[in-house]
Amino acid sequence: MTLSIFSNETFIHSLEIFFWMLGAFIIGLVFGRIIFNKKPQNNLDFKNNEYDDLSLHENNSQIRATKTFERGGIEMIKTVPEIKEIKKDDLKQINGIGATLEKKLNEIGIYNFSQISNLNKEDIEAISEKIKTFPGRIKRDNWVEQAQDFLKEIT
């Protein structure tokens, strides 16, 4: 009785699985090469000069950036009067404004009582959104009226 490596059923099954896997690999390799070697069709013909000229040499003066407060990326609120010479008031005198809120107001361009006294409803909503603390606090603590009162005391 001679023993052959082919008499073992486990070996035969393993060999059959190996050849199936080898065949699947070769088929995948062939199809992959066929698909990979296809070149994309370029339907654009640049020889006819039918494309638009995209040069910006004609009018560069029209390109402008949005004006922001001290180039920090924070847009100033437009209805608040712009102050050429910054006169900072102690905004902490208004009830409801502490050191942190004063700093946040200064960051968005509000420095004095005259700016706060000129706030309208849209400005109040915009400022509340920008400082993101205590929603509704400006109305609740009557900042506008307090600022107007401080302005009357000063003048």
Task: Copy the structure tokens of residue 106.
Answer: 């200064």
If one compares 136 and 30, the residue with the highest pLDDT of the two is: 30
Domain ranges of the chain: 8-36, 76-154
Question: Does residue 134 register a pLDDT over 60?
Answer: yes
Q: What is the pLDDT of residues 70-114, one digit of tens each?
A: 555 555 555 555 556 678 888 899 988 888 888 888 888 888 888
Task: Please give the pLDDT value at position 128.
Answer: 85
Cα–Cα dist 139/141, whole Å? 6
Give the pLDDT score at 153.
Answer: 86
Determine the Cα–Cα distance for residues 26 and 129; give it in Å rounded to an integer.
63
Residue 113 burial (10 A CB sphere; 0-12, 13-18, 19+): buried
The percent helix, strand, coil of the chain (3-state, each to 5) is 50, 0, 45
**What's the whole-number average pLDDT of the chain?**
76
pLDDT at 1: 45
The DSSP 8-state label assigned to residue 65 in this structure reads P
Q: What is the pLDDT of residue 19?
A: 95
Kindly compute the dihedral angle of the four CA atoms of residues 108, 67, 119, 79, in this order, to the nearest 10 degrees: 180
Alpha-carbon span 91 to 111, nearest angstrom: 7
The C-alpha angle 106, 108, 111, rounded to 5 degrees, equals 35
